[in-house]
Structure 1
Amino acid sequence: MTALFDQLRAGPRGVLGRSSAGDDDETRRPLPVSGMLAAAWTLGVGVAVLTTVTLVGWIAAPRGAFGQGVAEVFRAACQVWLAAHHAGFAIPGGGVGLLPLGLTVLPAALLYRAGLWMARDADLRLRLPARLPKGSTKDLANARRRAQLVVIARAGVSLAAPYAMLAGVVALIAKNDLTQPYVGEVLLSHLVLAFAAGSLATARTIGPWRSMVRLLPERPRALVAGTAVALLIMLGAGLVLVLVALAAGFGQVRELSEFLAPGVVGGVLLLLMQALYLPNLVIWGMAYLSGPGFQIGTGTLIAPTGVQLGSVPALPVLGALPEPGTTSPLLMTVLALPFVAGIAAGVVVARMAPTPQFESAPLWGFGCGLATGVSAGLLAALAGGPLGGARLSAVGPSAWEVSLSVTLEVGVAAGISAGLVNWWSMFRGARTAPAPVRMADEVLSKVTAKIKPSPDLPGHWMDATEAATQPLPAIRADWSDEHTPFGPDIPRPARPLSTAPPRDDIVDETDDRGGHVIYVDPYAWDRDP
């Protein structure tokens, strides 16, 4: 896709381009034009890829699973493309909202690449403010950050607006007698995903990922880092829980796969579909270990407190569900994982805070828990949804229950840990005595002891390229200087008498009888007669 972008960039530049400032003869397109071209090529490449996959499935199973002709196959590919953006459909008797989150990787990757091309084609790197020199004021740094955020937001809108409009056309093409795409969800999902990918790609042009994080102020940056840590810990625990459940129920999963008998091509497509639903299952595992659990239809519940099941869809991966009944006390220990995530998040928030504040540290920790709960609720809403009518109208976790439980569990633990870490930092800073100033003679004596003169060059203490006019001075540890702590209890040591003959070429400036001689040239005393 990048090669196609480069070919298009080199084509009608004389019509759509505009001259750039300076001596550069290469023209650049306006940002909205670059965003429109990037959106069109992203949607075209994505639909082409899904059409190819759908066509392979139609050839392997020509019994009407994907339609009766090539036009129906293309319409089915458009429906899959809309589902990849988490846009649901209305069917007779209900709706379909339980969509695979793994399929979102395809449009997200294409949009990210398109955003990078758009930023390069529109010269957004030149429009972003340059790096500030060292010692710049804080107001100037904040103004630079705001200017960068404005450019990033403009780039995201330039990609998202035409992308959403083209998605509306795809929704009209995907419409048939059985499935009716929700146009509002289509526009909103495409707009949000394209804006996020375009903004991220444009921010990436500023520099490495660490520079992107610095776009946020210090306190919100610590809050975002703590939220990310808590979510990663809980999602990682959910992934481990899913893998353990699959390993424990592998026999049931294999029996369901043999019962379906999909064939070779059908088996590959079935395995691919279950792999695309793996992110949904990971979020279900996160909801399970946070307490509320999830459901497979109305009247069912899979939670640490107990399992209540009915008839489930014939999907092999659902064979890993636990047996109905009460769970063992050992399995209920997973409820401690959200508190562990909260403790880790509170430590991160307290360590990344710019200055320790004893009163507000627990509040920032609880704010991190609130942000984690909102994020977990949003993920739970995306991972679930209806799968038809009747009892399958509710599948997956409840968004508000997951959000509330995660907010309380992570927020309380993060508030306590952030307060303790902040208190310990302030307490240690108050109890730690200031480090005494080490005497300069001790430091210099250790440094000069490690210096080994080169056997090839004459050793000169001022410049190694000069002639050997004076050997390297020996610095002794018993010399005293202005940093030596002399007092009534510590007498000043006597300076050892020098056995070397006095030199006539050095003027003692402490003696006013000879006057003061100031050498502007440091080597003037070598040439002074």
Structure 2
Amino acid sequence: MTVLFDQFKNAPRVVLQRLGDEEEARRPLPVSGVLAAVWTLGVGLAVLTTLTLIGWMAAPRGAFAEGLPGVFRTACLIWLAAHHTGFAIPGGAVGMLPLGLMALPGFLLYRAGLWMARDADLRVRIPVRSSEESPEDAENTRRRAQLVLVVQAGVSLAAPYAMLAGVIALVARNEVVQPFLGEALISHFALAFATGSIATARTIGPWRSMLRLLPERPRSLVLGTAAALGIMLVAGMALVLGAITVSFGEIRRLTDALDPGFIGGLLLLIVEALYLANAAIWSLAYMAGPGFAVGAGTLVAPTGVKLGAVPSLPLLGALPSSGAAPAWALTVVAVPFAAGVVAGVVVARVAPTASLEAAPLWGVGCGVTTGAAAGLLALLSGGPLGGARLTVIGPSAWEVAFSVALEVGVSAGISAGFVNWWLVGRRPAGEPDRERVSALRAVLRRLRRGRDRALPGHWLDAAEADTQPLPVIRDDRAGDPVAGTAGEAARANRIAPAQPGRPEIVDETDDRGGHVIYVDPYAWDKN
């Protein structure tokens, strides 16, 4: 199927290249976005339909009583669930969906975004910098143009993808299950926009070059938030795996009580693996303090555990027993504070500020963004799982957001202020503060610019060569008779003239030695 799709997408370009009109072979960005969206939906539904068909053949009298149409509707429901689209059932709703299932559409959308950026031949035409424009202004202009292009590419992929998702939601409806159309449109658009934008930005060069699209201060907040969330999620996953190891006997007993058989046991194992991401976020809420619920009137927190009847999912066998929490459980509360310390160090090192009083405020701001991100993850990890008591499952989003913002913000503010003082505030005796800060910021700017420079040959950097004149330096040294004679002899004995009809080839002549060097700056684009 991939080979046929490659032939289909390359056919117009091959025909136009044979006709000698290569520029017209490049598709507009919206057209490439539609093709990428159709490809993603086609491949994803094909994979899920195949897996569902295998389950139907293993148990033809099971849940697929409608035959092959029921198989396809089930595959459509799984595809919608992979985008975190809930659906209504008799007596309630299902909203607690496995976040691990989002890996399939996320990977397909990322690959489709890379293909869209190459197929549309996205380029940023930066105007020639005037003599009055400073290098900082030119860099800001280029960054804004690149950021606008990334947003346009994300919308070009997300808009048709969301429209197709609405059709899938209508097809998947039946008398028992009815997907929420609004959630389908929003979730598909959000996931496609995020992955499409990242894929487009990735074509600039290395991953670190993507951060150059953001100004210095937002970049520091993004990196600090990512560092804090990463530490807490890794610690949460470690806590989940430790609980599974300790409670493995109880998990096995619950699995044997279900008696799923070989095929059912394999499917149950896959479902539990997909819910591990939800469990890691629940552990994050546990470490932050609010904890999470497994039904109405229940609570699992470091201060204590109160449980009732839980769903028959063997993974829930790793939950602690009701009663007072052990003393070691309170030690996990230190993880958000440790994550805040690391986040504050990152914020201060990425963007030190000359105002020592402002650095702690930026650390607190990093705590606020981390809390907002943690609250969003808590909202996605929980939800209803039916009616009655199962309408409340998972952590409270606003409680997790408030707790994480407070804990991470306080520790990040302290560490950011100290590190910023260490980088900027310490100066040799007798040196003015303003000169010290200016010199340090200039050095950091030059180092960061050289470190984050994109690799040569990528489209967003190479396109700038179309508008930047290449200097030709000539040194005839007319005042030096010896050098002038050597220069005339060199010009008289040139190896080869510039090729006619090739204005892109620059003739750079070394008058001292008589060597001629031809440089083609567009060789990377000529196959």
Q: TM-score normalised to the size of structure 1?
A: 0.78
Matched, 1:146 2:147: no
Distance 1:432 1:277 in 2: 60
Query: Is 2:385–2:393's contact at 8 Å kept on the other side of the alignment?
Result: yes
Query: Is 1:356–1:425's contact at 8 Å kept on the other side of the alignment?
Result: no
Query: Is 2:158–2:196's contact at 8 Å kept on the other side of the alignment?
Result: yes
In the other structure, the counterpart of 2:279 is 281
Q: Shift in Å at residue 63 of structure 1?
A: 2.9
CA RMSD of aligned residues (A): 2.6
Query: What aligned pairs does 1:335-346 form with structure 2 within 5 A after superposition?
Result: 335-346=333-344
Q: Which deviations, in whole Å up to 9, do the C-alpha atoms of 1:430-470 show, x marking residues without a partner?
A: 45989xxxxxxxxxxxxxxxxxxxxxxxxxxxxxxxxxxxx
> In structure 2, do the counterparts of structure 1 residues 408 and 136 end up closer, same or farther at CA, with 3 Å as the change threshold?
same
Q: Which deviations, in whole Å up to 9, do the C-alpha atoms of 1:325-344 show, x marking residues without a partner?
A: 00112111100110000011
Query: What aligned pairs does 1:53-64 form with structure 2 within 5 A after superposition?
Result: 53-64=51-62
Secondary structure of 1:175's aligned partner: coil
> In structure 2, do the counterparts of structure 1 residues 427 and 144 end up closer, same or farther at CA, with 3 Å as the change threshold?
closer
Indicate which of 92, 102, 105 corresponds to 1:107: 105
Distance 2:170 2:214 in 1: 40
Q: Shift in Å at residue 75 of structure 1?
A: 0.3
> In structure 2, do the counterparts of structure 1 residues 520 and 335 end up closer, same or farther at CA, with 3 Å as the change threshold?
farther
Query: What aligned pairs does 1:17-56 form with structure 2 within 5 A after superposition?
Result: 24=22, 27-56=25-54
Distance 2:430 2:220 in 1: 26
> Per residue, is there more helix in 1 or in 2?
2
Distance 1:391 1:111 in 2: 37
Q: Which runs of 5+ in 2 are unaligned?
A: 433-478, 486-527
Query: What aligned pairs does 1:116-265 form with structure 2 within 5 A after superposition?
Result: 116-124=114-122, 126-127=123-124, 129=126, 137-265=135-263
- How many correspondences in the alignment? 437
> In structure 2, do the counterparts of structure 1 residues 286 and 253 end up closer, same or farther at CA, with 3 Å as the change threshold?
same
Q: Shift in Å at residue 411 of structure 1?
A: 0.4
In the other structure, the counterpart of 2:512 is none
Aligned AA for 2:137? D
Distance 1:363 1:520 in 2: 66
Matched, 1:414 2:430: no
Q: Which deviations, in whole Å up to 9, do the C-alpha atoms of 1:23-43 show, x marking residues without a partner?
A: 746711111111111101110
Q: Shift in Å at residue 426 of structure 1?
A: 3.0
In the other structure, the counterpart of 2:490 is none
In the other structure, the counterpart of 2:525 is none
Matched, 1:11 2:11: yes
Query: Is 1:384–1:395's contact at 8 Å kept on the other side of the alignment?
Result: yes
Q: Which deviations, in whole Å up to 9, do the C-alpha atoms of 1:165-196 show, x marking residues without a partner?
A: 10011001100001111000000000011111
Distance 2:284 2:116 in 1: 37
> In structure 2, do the counterparts of structure 1 residues 131 and 78 end up closer, same or farther at CA, with 3 Å as the change threshold?
farther
Secondary structure of 2:50's aligned partner: helix
Secondary structure of 1:214's aligned partner: helix
In the other structure, the counterpart of 1:424 is 422
> In structure 2, do the counterparts of structure 1 residues 91 and 130 end up closer, same or farther at CA, with 3 Å as the change threshold?
farther
Distance 1:299 1:28 in 2: 59
Q: Shift in Å at residue 259 of structure 1?
A: 1.1
In the other structure, the counterpart of 1:70 is 68
Query: Is 1:119–1:202's contact at 8 Å kept on the other side of the alignment?
Result: yes
> In structure 2, do the counterparts of structure 1 residues 350 and 176 end up closer, same or farther at CA, with 3 Å as the change threshold?
same
In the other structure, the counterpart of 1:353 is 351
Distance 2:135 2:124 in 1: 21
Distance 1:520 1:245 in 2: 86
Query: Is 1:218–1:354's contact at 8 Å kept on the other side of the alignment?
Result: no
> In structure 2, do the counterparts of structure 1 residues 4 and 150 end up closer, same or farther at CA, with 3 Å as the change threshold?
farther
Secondary structure of 2:327's aligned partner: coil
> In structure 2, do the counterparts of structure 1 residues 309 and 114 end up closer, same or farther at CA, with 3 Å as the change threshold?
same
Q: Which deviations, in whole Å up to 9, do the C-alpha atoms of 1:299-321 show, x marking residues without a partner?
A: 00000000000001111111000
Q: Shift in Å at residue 127 of structure 1?
A: 3.8
Q: Shift in Å at residue 151 of structure 1?
A: 0.8
Distance 1:311 1:432 in 2: 71
Query: Is 1:129–1:148's contact at 8 Å kept on the other side of the alignment?
Result: no
Distance 2:200 2:161 in 1: 16
Does 1 or 2 have the higher relative contact order (CA < 8 Å, sep 6+)? 2
Aligned AA for 1:315? L
Aligned AA for 1:6? D
Give the ranges of 4+ consecutive aligned residues of structure 1 lying more than 6 Å apart after TM superposition: 17-20, 130-133, 518-522
Aligned AA for 2:174? N
Matched, 1:308 2:302: no
Q: TM-score normalised to the size of structure 2?
A: 0.79
Secondary structure of 1:298's aligned partner: coil
In the other structure, the counterpart of 2:390 is 392
Indicate which of 266, 269, 278 corresponds to 2:267: 269
Matched, 1:81 2:79: yes
